[in-house]
C-alpha cells in the first residue's frame, strides 16, 4: 500500500471493492485529524458552526459506515482461536508505561 497521493490508489480500491472488506482504519483516522486540525469549529468572528467542517466529518463517517452494514461470515479456525484465547491481556496503565519507555514524550 503506497502513501503516494494521500493513499490515492488504496482509496480508489476501497470505493470499488466488493464487500465484505475490513479497511485499514489508519486512513480514516488520518482524515479525521486533518479535518480537525485544518478547520475551525466556528466561522470566524461569529457563533456560527463551521458547516463545511461538519460535512467533511460526515463524509468520512459515511465512508467508514459502508463497511459496518454487511455480514462478515468468518470461519472458525481452531488453532487461531486457541492462540487468541491464550493471549495475556495487558492493562492500559502497563501499555502506557511500555509506550513511554519505547518513545518518551518530548523527544
Query: Length of the chain in residues, anyone?
Result: 107
Q: What cell does 7 get?
A: 493513499
Q: Are 53 and 39 in contact (CB under 8 A)?
A: yes
Grid coordinates representing 106? 518530548
Q: What is the pLDDT of residues 79-103, one digit of tens each?
A: 999 999 999 999 999 999 999 999 9
Q: Are 63 and 10 in contact (CB under 8 A)?
A: no
pLDDT tens, 43-93?
998 899 999 999 999 999 999 999 998 998 889 999 999 999 999 999 999
Q: Which helix (H) or strand (E) holds 63?
A: helix 51-65
Other CB atoms within a 10 A radius of the CB of residue 97 amount to: 12
Amino acid at each position: 500500500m503506497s502513501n503516494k497521493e494521500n493513499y490515492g490508489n488504496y482509496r480508489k480500491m476501497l470505493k470499488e471493492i466488493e464487500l465484505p472488506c475490513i479497511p485499514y482504519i489508519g486512513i480514516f483516522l488520518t482524515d479525521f485529524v486533518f479535518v480537525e486540525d485544518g478547520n475551525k469549529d466556528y466561522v470566524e468572528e461569529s457563533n456560527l458552526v463551521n458547516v463545511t467542517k461538519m460535512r467533511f466529518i460526515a463524509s468520512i463517517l459515511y465512508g467508514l459506515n459502508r463497511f459496518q452494514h454487511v455480514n462478515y461470515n468468518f470461519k472458525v479456525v481452531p488453532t487461531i482461536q486457541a492462540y487468541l484465547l491464550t493471549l495475556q491481556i495487558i492493562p492500559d496503565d502497563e501499555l502506557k508505561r511500555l509506550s513511554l519507555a519505547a518513545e518518551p514524550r518530548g523527544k
